[in-house]
Amino acid sequence: MNNTKKVKKLIIDKPLKLDCGKTISNFPLAYETYGKLNEKKNNAILAFHALTGDQYASGINPITNKEGWWNYLLGPGKAIDTEKYFVICANVIGGCMGSYGPSSIDSSTNKPFGTNFPVITINDMVNAQYHLLEFFKIEKLFSVIGGSMGGMQVLQFVSNFPNKTHTAVPIACTASHSAQNIALNELGRQSIMADNNWSNGFYEENKKSPDKGLAVARMAAHITYLSKKGLQEKFGRKLQERDDLKFGFDADFQIESYLRYQGSVFVDRFDANSYLFITRAMDYFDLTKQFNGNLSKAFEKSKTKFFVISFTSDWLYPTSENREIVIALNAIGKDVGFAEITSDKGHDSFLLDVPDFLSAVKNFLKTSYKKINEKRI
């Protein structure tokens, strides 16, 4: 990993009290921006990334040299049109792309935090990113948007800062992480911890990282991002560069080979401890509980216009869970739209070329932006 000098960082000097009780200060938040902030400063969008995302949503990631994770949706002329909007995207705290995380150096030991890093929450992530508004002197965002864990951050952001955004687009997410999702995250964590190289989280000192455990975690998770139908259509029982079964445990099937590849490339760009901390933050997310069982209360003070999106084949964050958010908003008469997009691409649909999804986001943003600007005159 070179090019680390190109990473933009905001050092947050104000102390931030975390949900776990600890207070952190003088910590870095790595971010990237796309497009230009206009003079009125009313065209800013804060985009939140998902579990393994980072601040490089669009263009080429200078660290990995790979395409940004939201290239289908975000960029010049795209649904989130960076010729029109100013988009900010930050690496969450707990992450491994320059923000304060378990691989940051603990000043008291001069070694990486490892598992001594405080357990962070979605609320902590959002509170840290709020400083970006102050940094850019943005009074009110035009929109907050994100899918999966990014969607959870959208919900938490509006709840914490009810009138700091005109619109909010939570995509393929939930207000309360389900037992099934906690179970799947635990599977990933146990896989990492079962790797001897993990060394209770202090692997950086040994210069040996738990790549195998992290790869298996990614493989398991990757299956959950797809749909049965999508997998069947793409791979079926097709064999990998062979005419017949080999009666062994090599990757006979294309799907096996594909998953192994996904696991192996993932370990080059992601930190195992970050995976532990971020999945934990997702599991702890329960906005309904934060408001004593009444999700509506989370949005009571807000005038934000919501647009909730789910996908038909997403079984990880199914339509029913997204609809709970819509129901909570309707129960208190808030402005909320909802669309379930037809797609066979599973949970990953929000990252992929799904035309109805891309046009829905584009149209929602375009018409909302127009209305907001008309009102201001």
Partner 1 sequence: MKKEFNIIAKLITKDSKVLDVGCGDGELMKYISENITNDIRGLELSKHNVQKCIEKGLTVIEGDAEKDLKQFPESSFDYVVLSQTLQAFLDPENVINELLRVGKKAIVTIPNFGYWKVRIHLLFQGTMPITENLPNEWYDTPNLHMCTIKDFVNYCKKKNIKINSSNLSFQNLFSELGIFIIEK
Taking the complex as a whole, the smallest distance from the CB of residue 90 to partner 1 amounts, in Å, to 28
Single out the segment in contact with partner 1 by CB under 8 A; choices: 43-51, 85-93, 108-116, 354-362: 354-362
- What string marks each residue from 294 to 333 as x (binds partner 1 by CB under 8 A) or -? -----------x-----------------x--xx--xxxx
Which of 99, 159, 347, 348 is an active site residue? 347
CA angle, 337 as apex, 33 and 137 as ends, to 5°?
A: 30
Distance CA 216, CA 213 (A): 5
Q: Residue 319: helix, strand or coil by DSSP?
A: helix
How many amino acids of this chain bind partner 1 (CB under 8 A)?
26
Bridge partners of 232? none
209 catalytically annotated: no
CA 18 to chain centre: 19
Is position 314 annotated as part of the catalytic site?
yes
Q: Which of 81, 195, 252, 314 is catalytic?
A: 314
Which of these, 328, 46, 56, lies nearest to 174 by C-alpha position?
328
- SS3 call for 77: coil
Nearer to partner 1, 164 or 305 (CB): 305
* Stretch binding partner 1 (CB under 8 A), from 121-129, 175-183, 190-198, 362-370: 362-370
The footprint of partner 1 on residues 149-178 (CB under 8 A) is none
The distance of closest approach from Cβ of residue 22 to partner 1 in the complex, given in angstroms and rounded to an integer, is: 39
Using the rule CB under 8 A, which residue among 4, 335, 353, 373 binds partner 1? 335
Which of these is catalytic: 58, 99, 143, 148?
148
Which of 25, 236, 370, 373 lies at the binding interface for partner 1 (CB under 8 A)? Answer: 370
Cα separation values, 350 from 40, 72, 176, 312, 316, Å: 30, 9, 19, 12, 13
How many angstroms separate the CA atoms of 361 and 164, rounded? 20
